[in-house]
Chains A and B, each alone.
Chain A
Amino acid sequence: MARSITVLNLGKISYRAAWQVQRSLLQAHRNDSKNEKSFLSEQHPGDVLIICEHEPVYTVGIREREYSQDEERLKALGADFVRTDRGGLITFHGPGQLVGYPVINLKNYSLGLRKYVSSLEKVLIKTCEMFGLQGKTTKDTGVWIDERKIAAIGISCKRYITQHGVSLNCDNDLSWFDHVIPCGIKGKGVTSLSQELGRKVSLQETEPLFLNSFCDVFGCTLAADEKLAENIFLKADFIS
């Protein structure tokens, strides 16, 4: 029987708030009494796929010492700068970019971390295919259209529960990427669905195709949960 995942569309939300939502969901997953209960624990949300969009923000993974000089420079451009606990190096999120954060228990899908990352790559490739684009993976993780990166991946896993996820460039301003070496990969450019197709491809147009691809690859069904969304927006004091 296909597993069910709740889709939680947080709309335009700050990176930090979206991360706090993930942490609250993580705490709700973990039943050991040692951990502080999150405000979502009573609801037993189960596996959740967060879809959202961020204001301009640069984020780095745990190898953040490599970017100690960059924070002030990037903030001066008008972006936020967040040090995270995910894998991968530096990336950018901004308006017009679809961001997906699956907070799922990998035990439910019998997936090791490497296979999980590979599954996320497949979801992104399938989504690109739906637009008639040939996405691929290379030795550099992420999804590429030829030598141009269209989607990035960076995740973490805490006792089988995943955090962080993927970002897919729809019609975001790519010039933000000029100020960094995205994911530490030199000499390669970035692209978006809009750039590749020569027309505006919005996040709203992309989202259902991304969700369909996610269902196909993970063998799950997706359903919205109004109460969960309500709970988050009403009770979370970190969402402004």
Chain B
Amino acid sequence: MAGAIRGVCRLQPFIKTFSLISQQKVTAFTKPCNYQYQNACRSFTSQMNKLLSEMRFTEEHEWVRQEGSTPHVTVGITDYAQDSLGDIVFVELPEVGSQVVEKDSIGAIESVKAVSDVYCPASGTVTEVNTELESTPEVVNTSPLEDGWLFKMELADVSSLDTLLTEKEYKDYLHGLE
């Protein structure tokens, strides 16, 4: 979602420059402007689709992205989760080095007046946490699948990823909640 906005912003100065020259030139350049805008949107959409297709999901609305075929993964919350929470004001993350167990509560996200637990998607060791979120927790709202990642971990068993939901299974799960 944030990427689409960036796509439009990149084109705004381009469009304004041409409108200063003359209205006719704006018309003449409208088609290329639209083409570049559409390209930006297409590129963002395909980027997002690729991102989602590489992820696994939990019923607690966490996403997990594996690095290649290694046991190292990144974990965050989905766009559905951040939207449902509202403006995020505080993120409590696990300690680096802690041993974590699948389905245990290992963190919390506070949106205005409400705290929601973050659950461990699989057992392993926490290797890194997103320290940016201490000063800018709102990044989880604006970029939940990328810059708003919560923590990284090394899985105890890579095959535990197979028990998580695929993108399609997660979408079906969301439909069931409506």
Asked if B111 CB lies within 8 Å of chain A CBs, one says: yes
Asked if B165 CB lies within 8 Å of chain A CBs, one says: no
- Kindly state the interface size class of chain A when it binds its partner: 20 to 34
Q: Report whether A61 and B110 are in contact in the complex, using a CB–CB cutoff of 8 Å.
A: yes
Interface string of B106-128 (1 = CB under 8 A from A): 00101111111101000000000
* Nearest residue, chain A, Cβ from B103: A34
Given contacts A107-B177, A113-B84, contact A88 B113 (CB under 8 A): yes
Asked if A63 CB lies within 8 Å of chain B CBs, one says: yes
Q: What separation, in Å, do the CA atoms of A113 and B108 have in the docked complex?
A: 13
Contacts of B112 in A (CB 8 A): 87, 114, 117, 141
From the candidates B60, B90, B116, name the one contacting A113 in the complex (CB within 8 A).
B116
Asked if B178 CB lies within 8 Å of chain A CBs, one says: yes
Interface string of B83-118 (1 = CB under 8 A from A): 111100010100000000001010010111111110
Name 28 A/B residue pairs within 8 A (Cβ), A-sorted: A61-B110, A61-B115, A62-B92, A62-B108, A63-B90, A63-B110, A85-B108, A86-B114, A87-B110, A87-B114, A87-B115, A110-B177, A112-B84, A112-B86, A113-B84, A113-B114, A113-B116, A114-B85, A114-B86, A114-B111, A117-B86, A117-B112, A141-B112, A156-B116, A158-B105, A158-B117, A159-B117, A159-B119
* Nearest residue, chain B, Cβ from A115: B84
Q: What separation, in Å, do the CA atoms of A203 and B71 have in the docked complex?
A: 57
From the candidates A32, A117, A157, name the one contacting B117 in the complex (CB within 8 A).
A157
Q: Report whether A159 and B60 are in contact in the complex, using a CB–CB cutoff of 8 Å.
A: yes
Interface residues of A in 86-118 (CB under 8 A from B): 86-88, 107, 110, 112-117
Min C-beta distance of A168 to chain B, whole Å: 15
Contacts of B111 in A (CB 8 A): 87, 113-114
How many residues on chain B are close to A (CB under 8 Å)?
A: 21
Given contacts A87-B110, A112-B84, A114-B85, contact A62 B177 (CB under 8 A): no
Asked if A153 CB lies within 8 Å of chain B CBs, one says: yes
Asked if A193 CB lies within 8 Å of chain B CBs, one says: no
Min C-beta distance of A53 to chain B, whole Å: 21
Asked if A135 CB lies within 8 Å of chain B CBs, one says: no
Q: What separation, in Å, do the CA atoms of A12 and B92 have in the docked complex?
A: 33
Min C-beta distance of B77 to chain A, whole Å: 12
* Nearest residue, chain A, Cβ from B86: A114
Asked if A155 CB lies within 8 Å of chain B CBs, one says: yes
Contacts of A87 in B (CB 8 A): 110-115
Contacts of A159 in B (CB 8 A): 60, 117, 119
Min C-beta distance of B12 to chain A, whole Å: 29
Asked if A182 CB lies within 8 Å of chain B CBs, one says: no
Contacts of B113 in A (CB 8 A): 87-88, 117, 141-142, 153-155
Min C-beta distance of A110 to chain B, whole Å: 7
Q: What separation, in Å, do the CA atoms of A113 and B113 have in the docked complex?
A: 10
Interface residues of A in 169-214 (CB under 8 A from B): none
Contacts of B90 in A (CB 8 A): 62-63
Contacts of A107 in B (CB 8 A): 177
Contacts of A117 in B (CB 8 A): 86, 112-114
Most buried by B among A63, A114, A142: A114
20 more A-B contacts (CB under 8 A) besides A85-B115, A113-B111?
A: A62-B90, A62-B92, A62-B108, A62-B110, A63-B90, A85-B108, A87-B114, A113-B84, A113-B116, A114-B86, A114-B111, A116-B114, A117-B113, A141-B113, A153-B113, A156-B114, A156-B117, A157-B114, A158-B105, A159-B117
Most buried by A among B60, B116, B177: B116
